[in-house]
Amino acid sequence: MSDNVRVRFAPAPTGYMHIGNLHTALFNWLFARKMGGAMILRIEDTDEVRSTPEALDVIYQGLKWIGLDWDEGPDVGGEYGPYVQSERLGIYQEYLDQLIEAGRAYECFCTPEELEERRQVMRARGIPPRYDGRCRDLTEEQKRKLREQGLESCIRFRVKETGTTVVKDIIQGEVTYENSLIGDPVIVKTSGFPTYHFAVVVDDQLMQITHVIRAVEHLPNTQIHLQLQEALGIEPPAYAHLPLILGEDRTKLSKRHGAVAVTDYEQQGFLPEAMFNFLVLLGWSPGDEREVMSRAQIMEAFSLEACDSSPSVFDVQKAEWMNGEYMKLMDGEDLAGRLLPLLQHEGLMEENPSAERREWLVGVVSLMKERARLLNTFVSWGRYFFTDDYEYENRARKKWLSREEVPERLELLAERLQLLEAWEHQSIEAAVRGLAEELGLSAAKVIHPCRAAVTGTTIGPSLFHLMELLDQNDVIGRLHRAAQLSRAGELEPGPEPESQ
RNA sequence: GGCCCCAUAGUCUAGAGGCCUAGGACUCCGCUCUUUCAAGGCGGCAGCACGGGUUCGAAUCCCGUUGGGGCCA
């Protein structure tokens, strides 16, 4: 009765969620929300070996991080539950009986060793290896004997031997498969667990899924699913197979590509909004030249038909750029809120900062966000805001801190700054420039050494604004410290290869 | 190996026969602003994989080749 869109994201709980899974989830979610439909989360744990219960949390967290929600699932329930396949074992039996009755499923007693052996033979003879149908037509008598020998059986689905199966896919178009080319797949393992093919078909039917949106690696499997559906009298859902996300080497993104887990990107300081935006642009485009788009804009423009069928490479550099764009767009207060946990984790901010201290952080963030790409940037480039314990970079040492004339300048500047009653960027600037003038130097000749001393680096935001955010005495202390170290010859540049 | 899919610069993409002298973005490289650049502004390098058709006309359609990928095992 309902022609409402229902989609599902159906991950296997293997302990981590990678960017490709998230991409699939994202497209499902977008489509569901765009169409005013329902998003279902289903856990496909029929692979007893690889599935772990702890993995559920990883899935929830990954989805929540990027801002996806679901209407039905193991945690929120729903009227088509349970939503974990291992809890649905009884449900599959009914469908299995149906297939057996129709003569489309049968017991197979072949052992893995036998199967492997026969595969070898087929290969050697140049025949594509597939199940040869040996147990297809066993008599009751034969089965009894095999059982008496103590052999275990699995159940196979009898596929069609002739004709073709056509997958009509919203993204991939019509793809035709020759039925004679596939062997009978196992649908129930000796353990009694259904296999992926069987469980998917049954569950999608029972959960009234209207659109199966998944990665294209499942496209070849779809021919089996269609045959299974036909045998069960099930109307197939619409299919949309998303192109794969590849690593730099153009192979399917996997653990060997380094950072692929969603949590890796979270830890690197990616904003979920940016990752969402970036990911949606892999395999889809609004058709115009927009790239940085709000979620509302994306949803407005989104359609499955506009998805591309060719795979795409995950380019971290562009992802970082986009993250930077989002940081610029976000107001300082929001961004400070995102950043705080990270800073606390690094021990750079106290656990319960006062309102004043938070406000100060907003100031720091506002000053830095224009040039930062990741949240982590604040920890690395912005360390000097939070602690006196920062390094003097080689470039800073070489260009300024190791110079003979510098210590005196720093000390003179410290004296001037000490006299300031108002610690504001205007007064600081006046003091710095005033000193330069008196010494007959260009302002830069004071500014640069000062930056090097106070921040340890040669680059960063406006020096005067930055100093304003630091404590006056602290700055003075830093100037004296650098002057002393410099005189002591401790700020000589390190070994060359350091610089990049 | 068999089957299937894909093919616009290093990367993400626009392009659905004439609007293409192929547009945008990232990266990279210059220049510029400035107290610095890792930010801003301006500019530049770089692409329709190849070969055949079809057509008055092809990045766009067809075939083949090559390359890449996925699935099966």
The answer to whether residues A382 and A390 touch, using CB atoms and an 8 Å cutoff, is no
Give the domain-ending residue among A242, A273, A296.
A242
Residue A421 token pair:
């009653």
Residue nearest to nucleotide B6 (CA to C1'): A310
Instruction: Classify residue A127: in a domain, yes or no.
Output: yes
Instruction: For residues A103 and A227, state if they share a domain.
Output: yes
Instruction: For residues A460 and A360, state if they share a domain.
Output: no
The distance (Å) linking the CA of A159 with the C1' of B7 is: 33
The distance (Å) linking the CA of A289 with the C1' of B42 is: 21
Query: How many angstroms separate the CA atoms of A72 and A487, rounded?
Result: 68
A116 touches strand B (CB under 7 A): yes
Instruction: Classify residue A478: in a domain, yes or no.
Output: yes
Instruction: For residues A172 and A219, state if they share a domain.
Output: yes
Instruction: For residues A348 and A211, state if they share a domain.
Output: no
Give the domain-ending residue among A216, A242, A268.
A242
What is the DSSP-derived secondary structure letter of residue A304? S
A126 touches strand B (CB under 7 A): yes
Instruction: Compute φ and ψ for A110, nearest 5 degrees.
Output: -60, 135
Nearest nucleotide by C1' position to the A433 CA atom: B35
Strand B close residues, chain A 2-41, CB < 7 angstroms: none
The answer to whether residues A261 and A11 touch, using CB atoms and an 8 Å cutoff, is no
**How many domains in chain A?**
3
Instruction: For residues A165 and A136, state if they share a domain.
Output: yes
pLDDT at A497: 44
What CATH code is carried by the domain that includes residue A361? 1.10.8
3-state secondary structure A371-413: CCCCCHHHHHCCHHHHCCCCCCCHHHHHHHHCCCCHHHHHHHH
pLDDT at A412: 93
Instruction: Classify residue A15: in a domain, yes or no.
Output: no
Nearest nucleotide by C1' position to the A465 CA atom: B35
The distance (Å) linking the CA of A249 with the C1' of B49 is: 18
**Interface pTM, i.e. ipTM:** 0.93
Catalytic position from the list A160, A255, A398, A445: A255
Instruction: For residues A369 and A480, state if they share a domain.
Output: no
Strand B close residues, chain A 435-474, CB < 7 angstroms: 443-444, 447-448, 451, 457-465
Instruction: Classify residue A428: in a domain, yes or no.
Output: yes
Instruction: For residues A367 and A418, state if they share a domain.
Output: no
Helix, strand, coil percentages for chain A (3-state, nearest 5): 50, 10, 40
Instruction: For residues A379 and A398, state if they share a domain.
Output: no
Give the domain-ending residue among A177, A210, A242.
A242
Instruction: Classify residue A21: in a domain, yes or no.
Output: no
Residue nearest to nucleotide B24 (CA to C1'): A289
Which residues are CB-contacts of A59 (< 8 A; sequence separation ≥ 6)? A11, A13, A17, A41, A43
Roughly how many angstroms between the first and final C-alpha of chain A, as a whole number?
Answer: 65
Q: Which domain holds residue A179?
A: 89-242
Q: Kindly report the pTM of this predicted structure.
A: 0.91
Nearest nucleotide by C1' position to the A425 CA atom: B35
pLDDT at A104: 92
Instruction: Classify residue A326: in a domain, yes or no.
Output: no
Instruction: For residues A341 and A448, state if they share a domain.
Output: no
The answer to whether residues A193 and A152 touch, using CB atoms and an 8 Å cutoff, is no
Nearest nucleotide by C1' position to the A120 CA atom: B73
Query: How many angstroms separate the CA atoms of A481 and A91, rounded?
Result: 74
* Strand B positions within 7 A of protein Cβ atoms: 1-8, 10-15, 23-27, 35-40, 68-73
pLDDT at A78: 85
A321 touches strand B (CB under 7 A): yes
The answer to whether residues A115 and A147 touch, using CB atoms and an 8 Å cutoff, is no
Strand B close residues, chain A 280-299, CB < 7 angstroms: 281-285, 287-289, 291
The distance (Å) linking the CA of A241 with the C1' of B71 is: 13
A255 is catalytic: yes
Instruction: For residues A208 and A339, state if they share a domain.
Output: no
Instruction: Classify residue A84: in a domain, yes or no.
Output: no
Of A159, A136, A172, A304, nearest in space to A226 by CA = A159
> Any idea what the Cα angle at residue A77 is, between residues A71 and A83, rounded to 5°?
95
The distance (Å) linking the CA of A298 with the C1' of B14 is: 17
Which residues are CB-contacts of A334 (< 8 A; sequence separation ≥ 6)? none
Instruction: Compute φ and ψ for A282, nearest 5 degrees.
Output: -95, 100
Residue nearest to nucleotide B4 (CA to C1'): A220
Instruction: For residues A170 and A115, state if they share a domain.
Output: yes
Instruction: Classify residue A70: in a domain, yes or no.
Output: no
The distance (Å) linking the CA of A172 with the C1' of B62 is: 19
The answer to whether residues A369 and A335 touch, using CB atoms and an 8 Å cutoff, is yes
What CATH code is carried by the domain that includes residue A154? 3.40.50.620
Nearest nucleotide by C1' position to the A432 CA atom: B35
> Any idea what the Cα angle at residue A253 is, between residues A251 and A259, rounded to 5°?
130
Instruction: For residues A352 and A218, state if they share a domain.
Output: no
The distance (Å) linking the CA of A311 with the C1' of B38 is: 32
| Residue segments in chain A with a per-residue pLDDT below the cut of 50 | 1-2, 497-500
